[in-house]
Amino acid sequence: MAPSGMEADAGLEFSRVFDAPPEVVFECMTQPGHLTHFWAPAGASAPVEEIRVDLRPGGRFETLIVNDVTGATYATRSVFTEVHAPSSLVWHEEHTGMTVRVTLTALPAGKTLFHLHQTNVPDIVRLPRNQAGFKTTLDKFDNYLNQLAGGAKQ
């Protein structure tokens, strides 16, 4: 097993193919009216009035995650370091010390390869339950994008 210092330097990566073009995925990730539908793990929500997005390098990205059962809250406070619409976003999380890079790559048939790479990952984020929770956020995002597409087809 690697020493904890080395583990702290190793990043975590998540990828998913979404059935939406990068422009739509990027917009959903940067607009509070969209983020509120998926920016929390299953069993939690992100009230739109508690989401702040100042989409520019140096701009704030803040949310409040609310446990739907207990009402417990978890605030996130981040600063964008890179914004390249519609292909990538990078932010630094003040509350965890992590840097998060999201890359969106156009695929055939209007799909997008979503790739998220986290560095300086604290031990609590590495816990299996927290990684599983993040995967439910991606599931919610996928479902939301499918709902948007369904609405557009009607």
Fold classified for 4-146: Alpha-D-Glucose-1,6-Bisphosphate; Chain A, domain 4 (3.30.530)
pLDDT at 153 over 60: no
67 CB neighbour count, 10 Å cutoff: 14
The model scores a pTM over 0.75: yes
Residues 83-106: what's their mean pLDDT?
A: 97
Q: Note the pLDDT of residue 8.
A: 44
Q: At how many degrees (to 10) do helices 128-153 and 22-30 cross?
A: 120
Kindly report, residue by residue over 104-144, the tens digit of the pLDDT.
999 999 999 999 999 999 988 888 888 888 899 999 999 99
Amino acid at 86: P
Band of residue 95 on the pLDDT scale cut at 50, 70, 90: very high
What confidence tens digit (pLDDT) does each residue in 7-61 have?
A: 445 699 999 999 999 999 999 999 999 999 999 999 999 999 999 999 999 999 9
The structural domains of the chain, with segments of one domain joined by +, span 4-146
